[in-house]
Amino acid sequence: MEALFYVSAVVAVIATLRAVTGKNAVHALLYLVVSLLAAALVFYSLGAPFIAALEVIIYAGAIMVLFIFVVMMLNLGPGAERQEKSLLDPRAWAGPALLAFALVAELLYSFSGGGGTAEANAQYINPKAVALTLFGPYFIGVELASLLLLAGLVAAWHLGRREKEATHDSPG
């Protein structure tokens, strides 16, 4: 299991570096998705499969896919077709695909029983334990997080709204 941790951690670091240094937004986002998947595997190797699943569903699944769609749709225009052709260039997807393949291989290896059991000091944390902690000692934290979302929502709604009579209207 320790090897699993280190391999996914290295994948996460490489993918994040590529995401930060990438010049093309779509390519950078592909690397970011791989980075999040690698982070999910890190959680999995530490004995937290529930958090790993949430990481995949929420970050890699919902948020990042939305990001990629938005970025791709924003680029609509005369050059869009040429640009989409360039997205199919192997140089664009080979890197993320290779890293993702490494993660899949790791996952298959651990499912087939390789890598032994979890470390002695890493215990398995199931969804029930997560829920009991969140809504037990940390319920104030959950409430505060909901108010944080409210703040984000109100701010985004105000700043993103198109005002009819606005004098200083600007896209944002």
We find the least distance from the C-beta atom of residue 155 to other proteins, in angstroms, to be: 3
Interacting span for other proteins (CB under 8 A) from 20-28, 64-72, 123-131, 155-163? 155-163
For other proteins, give the closer residue by CB, 132 or 156. 156
**Contact residue for other proteins among 94, 97, 108, 144 (CB under 8 A):** 144
Rounded Cα distance between 10 and 15, Å, is 8
Q: How many residues bind other proteins (CB under 8 A)?
A: 26
Q: Which contacts qualify for 147-155: CB closer than 8 Å, 24 or more apart?
A: none
We find the least distance from the C-beta atom of residue 90 to other proteins, in angstroms, to be: 33
Does 145 help bind other proteins (rule: CB under 8 A)?
A: yes
We find the least distance from the C-beta atom of residue 19 to other proteins, in angstroms, to be: 15
Does 141 help bind other proteins (rule: CB under 8 A)?
A: yes
* Dihedral angle sign, alpha carbons of residues 149, 56, 96, 68: negative
Tokens found for residue 88: 């199919």
Are 153 and 36 spatial neighbours (Cβ–Cβ below 8 Å)?
A: no
Burial 78-96 (b: 16+ CB within 10 A, else e): eeeeeeeeeeeeeeeeebb
Tokens found for residue 46: 């530490």
Does 58 help bind other proteins (rule: CB under 8 A)?
A: no
Does 172 help bind other proteins (rule: CB under 8 A)?
A: yes
For other proteins, give the closer residue by CB, 114 or 141. 141
Per-residue contact flags (x/-) with other proteins for residues 109 to 138, judged by CB under 8 A: ----------------------------xx
Q: Which amino acid is at 113?
A: G
The residues of the shown chain that bind other proteins, judged by CB under 8 A, are: 137-141, 143-145, 147-148, 150-152, 154-159, 163, 166-170, 172
